[in-house]
Amino acid sequence: MDMLKVFTGTAHPALAERICETLGVALGRATVSRFPDGEVRVKVLDDVRGTDAYVVQPTNAPGENLMELLLLIDCLRRASAERVTAVVPYFGYARQDRKDEGRVPISAKLVANLIAEAGAGRMLTIDLHAAQVQGFFDIPVDHLYAAPVLAAHFQSLGLTNLVTACSDVGGVKMAREYGRRLGAGLAIVDKRRMGPGECEAVHLIGEVAGKTVLLTDDIIATATSVAEAARILRDAGAGDIYVGATHGVFCDDAIAKLREGRIKQVVVTDTLPLPPETAEEPFRVLTVAGLLGEAIRRIHFHLSVSELFEPRVQGSSGRGT
């Protein structure tokens, strides 16, 4: 493992440390600072010539997280690393994957181009908002799923009379996969989106009266969709409602909405840094460090990673915070 190096920017160093723990390697030494005018400055302190280097950096807001990723990749490439892999647990801008109205960019494609042009030879990520975003990259993409981590947690709770649900028809595939793992039925909250972060639930498809419901999603941003779906489920007679999501973006008053939503437990992973409030009930945070660490190990030793792509393959166990 001497030729394997893991580096991180300032976006989520705690996750990078956990990944290194699973791999049994020390986190690579690098500094990320600012010039007096605010420009980002990076410097790698380790000799990386001929190494297999990995940069762990989610691209959540602010935009400087993305800039740090690009500069670290470029730095490692110019320092003669043999290969540089961008490990982006949360790929920001993924929801801007098409022109849904006139005169808007396809931001996900632009960010994909930037990562490749910076010098990354490979991309490793978890639960892209739309799987087809993989096609935006001109480099290999290893797209992992957090379903094994989250499903293992809900299995440990011993939930009975369970139904999995999604807050829109786009999440049916994910909800069905959780249902398959947990032996649960399926329900769909049909909603109409009024604008970014604004939606109105319309009606419920499926039977939830008297049942425990697991509401699944890939991203919780403003929590508007989740809160509205939970309301519809309660109005339909659902019992305890659990929420499981991969990425906890939690912007604006999302935390307050979830606390007020009479939700039994909100479970997310540590793909991006989370606010301190998520250390308290009803929140639970699971780590994806084991999943990412295993993928990095396989890539480094030129072993198959494809079985980790499958949502039904068992992955890392959860780590509560």
Q: Active-site positions?
A: 191
**CA dist., res. 98 & res. 158, Å (int):** 40
C-alpha to C-alpha distances, 233 to 168, 261, 275, 307, nearest whole angstrom: 13, 11, 27, 35
Distance CA 273, CA 291 (A): 17
With H, G, I as helix, E, B as strand and everything else as coil, classify residue 238.
coil
Exposure letters 124-133 (e unless 16+ CB within 10 A, then b): bbbbbbeeeb
Q: Which residues pair with 88 in a beta bridge?
A: 125
In 3D space, the residue among 221, 219, 217 whose CA is nearest the CA of residue 241 turns out to be: 217
Quote the CA–CA distance of 38 and 287 in Å, as a whole number.
32
Chain center to CA of 50: 30
Three-state secondary-structure class, residue 231: helix
DSSP-assigned letter for residue 18: H
Q: Name the residue with tokens 């769909």.
A: 188
CA angle 18, 22, 25 (to 5 degrees): 90
What contacts 130, CB < 8 A, 6 or more positions away?
A: 94, 95, 97
CA pair distance 153, 267, nearest whole angstrom = 9
